[in-house]
Structure 1
Amino acid sequence: MEEENHTEVSEFLLLGLSEDPELQPLLLGLFLSMYLVTVFGNLLIILAISSASHLHTPMYFFLSNLSFIDICFVSTTVPKMLVNIYTQIKDISYIECLTQMYFFMIFAGMDNFLLTVMAYDRFVAICHPLNYTVVMNPRFCGLLVLICWFIVFWAALLHLLLVTQLTFSVGTEIPHFFCELAPILKVARSDTFITNIVMYVCTALLGVFPMTGILFSYSQIVSSLLRMSSTASKYKAFSTCGSHLSVVSLFYGTGLGVYLSSAVTSSSQRSSTASVMYTVVTPMLNPFIYTLRNKDVKGVLGRLLNRKCALPLFPRQQ
């Protein structure tokens, strides 16, 4: 196949999850349902937090940001996949592919950093409760989120600039359902050594360090819980971490599963199928985890839904 400069490549081909025509309607219905549940569920979380004054705390401020990021995260990949399945057209333009890759890296990085910030919030709340309101003040919380945006913006931009220097063949096929960095590097025609090195370094800095921070925070939390004499106090303190710990386990567990499946198997289809877990399933499950395990959020959502259901029953008198 003749090698072309990246500036002459107008589009790529996304092979998707399956080429079986009989599976396409099933995949379309499945991923459309999952996408709608994800968007609706996370919007409900944001609505509940914004409408209830007693939820205007650092923990729920970070949770609302996480819900917003999850909506953006899933919207980066799923709508294009749904269009490709519905139209049976697999092409994606060069610019659109790089744009999708860029925003995917931003929102994946923000998910990672927000989970770390939320772990720090729980660490301060449990290990230093008397200083919690002083340390986790609104200005500091906003600054933490801005720092996260700043870091992932420049890390994603660095990867984007490196990819634009690569060359690809006309009609390049990407064995994935969206434009992810690793599959794109595998199909490049030019040397990707520097780009791979940068990718591994950024993965270590932006992945391992936050995960280490989460583990350190929870080691300190467990140590503080063990020093508590009251069982009720232990349960109440740890219950505030239950939802976050579940989301962290789901996010890193699925991400690690994708990495291991890619390393163990050479099948691109299996790797892309495994990617569905952290790109689609995890953002969809997050609202359920926080509503089912959190009495405050569950109570606000219940009142909101009851209010919406009761409105048509009592029309305003003329």
Structure 2
Amino acid sequence: MGLSENPDLQPTLFGLFLSMYLVTVLGNLLIILAVSSDPHLHTPMYFFLFNLSLTDIGFIYITVPNMIVNIQTHSRVISYGGCLTQMSLFLLLGNMDYMLLTVMAYDRFVAICHPLHYQVIMSPRLCGFLVLGSFFLCLLDSHLHNLMILQITSFKHVEISSFFCDPSQLLNLSCSDTFSNNIAKYFLAAIYGLFPLSGIFFSYYKIISSILRIPSSDGKCKAFSTCGSHLEVVGLFLGTASAVYLGSAASHIPKKDVMASVMFTVVTPMLNPFIYSLRNRDIKSALRRLQSRAL
């Protein structure tokens, strides 16, 4: 259904979302270039940030370009196969964002609570395993949701009150008994939602406890500054995701749900590189060195 049926708003929406898409891709590409080209940033923390930026580019790519094309062609139709593909990639990359933020919380926990053993614990092998393990877990969740959707037979000529194939709406399209689907949906939500959230909360509980034991205020500020950017991104991601899925479950108002989806799928990937580049001295220094080499 898109964002608005008003034809006068379509050029504005086209320009706005095209600009946001280009800013997101450019910002995350700069993070990727800075991390890959600067030896000072070849550390576990920036390895995870590199993968987060890659994921954010893919995450916005699966929703916004299709919407921009729909605005230009004045068509809001998506094929059955295209809808399933978009939903699968949305789940894969959205969950991957969440898993990477959880892994980054663990990285900050090791760096602050076990600084002397940081290089040994966060070895390249473990970092690669955490990223690959997160990817395959997210791929499994995506396939399980696909299997649930494939059980829905009455899936023609339906309207989705969003600008992409939102899995939470697709799962409610069946006219048959959805008890088993609901059980599976809540089980997956508990596994892929609560476990990573528990990991983030536990990591920051231990981090805050360790920081409070530091005697000097300068030491506390320095320790906390190493995870400030990550905390902001986690808060932004969880806040917008909760508005989309918990808020829509409590009170289904299509317009509000769509605006919350825009914040989650478009605004969050766009702001992530700004948060990390503006709050992080290492990234700013790497970007300056990258600029000087380019000039």
Helix, strand or coil at the partner of 1:187: coil
SS in 2 for 1:91: coil
CA distance in 2, matches of 1:127, 1:170: 54
Task: Look up the match of 1:67.
Answer: 53
Instruction: Describe how 1:179-194 pairs up with structure 2 within 5 A.
Output: 179-194=165-180
2:115 counterpart of 1:129: yes
Query: Percent identity, aligned pairs only?
Result: 59
For the residues of structure 2 that align with 1:196 and 1:104, how far apart are their CA atoms? 20
The answer to whether residue 270 in structure 2 is matched with residue 275 in structure 1 is no
**SS of structure 1 residue aligned to 2:78:** strand
Question: How many pairs align?
Answer: 295
Provide runs of 4+ in structure 1 moved above 3 Å: none
Following TM superposition, by how much is the alpha carbon of 1:267 offset from its aligned partner in structure 2, in angstroms?
1.9
Gaps of 5+ in 2: none
TM-score normalised over the length of structure 1: 0.90
Match of 2:42 in 1: 56
**Higher alpha-carbon deviation: 151-160 or 190-199:** 190-199
> Which residue does 1:9 correspond to in 2?
none
Say which one has the larger Rg.
1
SS in 2 for 1:196: helix
* Distance in 2, Cα, partners of 1:213 & 1:233: 25
State the alpha-carbon separation in 2 of the partners of residues 261 and 207 from structure 1.
15
Q: Tell me if structure 2 keeps the 8 A contact 1:35–1:78.
A: yes
Q: How much has 1:145 moved relative to structure 2?
A: 0.7
Cα distance in 2 for partners of 1:253, 1:61 equals 25
1:156 lines up with 2:142 in the alignment: yes
Q: Is the 8 A contact 2:24 2:57 kept in 1?
A: yes
The aligned amino acid for 2:119 is T
- The separation in 2 between residues aligned to 1:267 and 1:88, in whole angstroms, is 24
Q: Are the aligned partners of 1:74 and 1:280 in contact in 2 as well (CA < 8 Å)?
A: yes
Letter paired with 2:88: Y
Superposition map of 1:7-22 within 5 A: 15-22=1-8
How is 1:186-225 mapped onto 2 (pairs within 5 angstroms)?
186-225=172-211
Q: Which moved more, 1:56-65 or 1:183-192?
A: 183-192
User: Is the deviation greater in 229-238 or in 240-249?
Assistant: 229-238
- 1:33 and 2:34 equivalent? no
Task: Indicate which of 191, 203, 223 corresponds to 1:237.
Answer: 223
Aligned-partner Cα distance in 1 for 2:180–2:168: 13
* Residue 280 of structure 2 is aligned to residue 285 of structure 1: no
* Cα displacement (A) at 1:303: 2.2
CA distance in 2, matches of 1:196, 1:276: 25
Determine if contact 1:261/1:270 at 8 Å carries over to the other structure: no
Q: Offset at 1:169?
A: 4.8
Task: Give the AA of the match of 1:130.
Answer: L
What is the CA–CA distance in structure 1 between the aligned matches of 2:12 and 2:111, rounded to whole Å? 46
**RMSD in angstroms over aligned alpha carbons?**
1.2
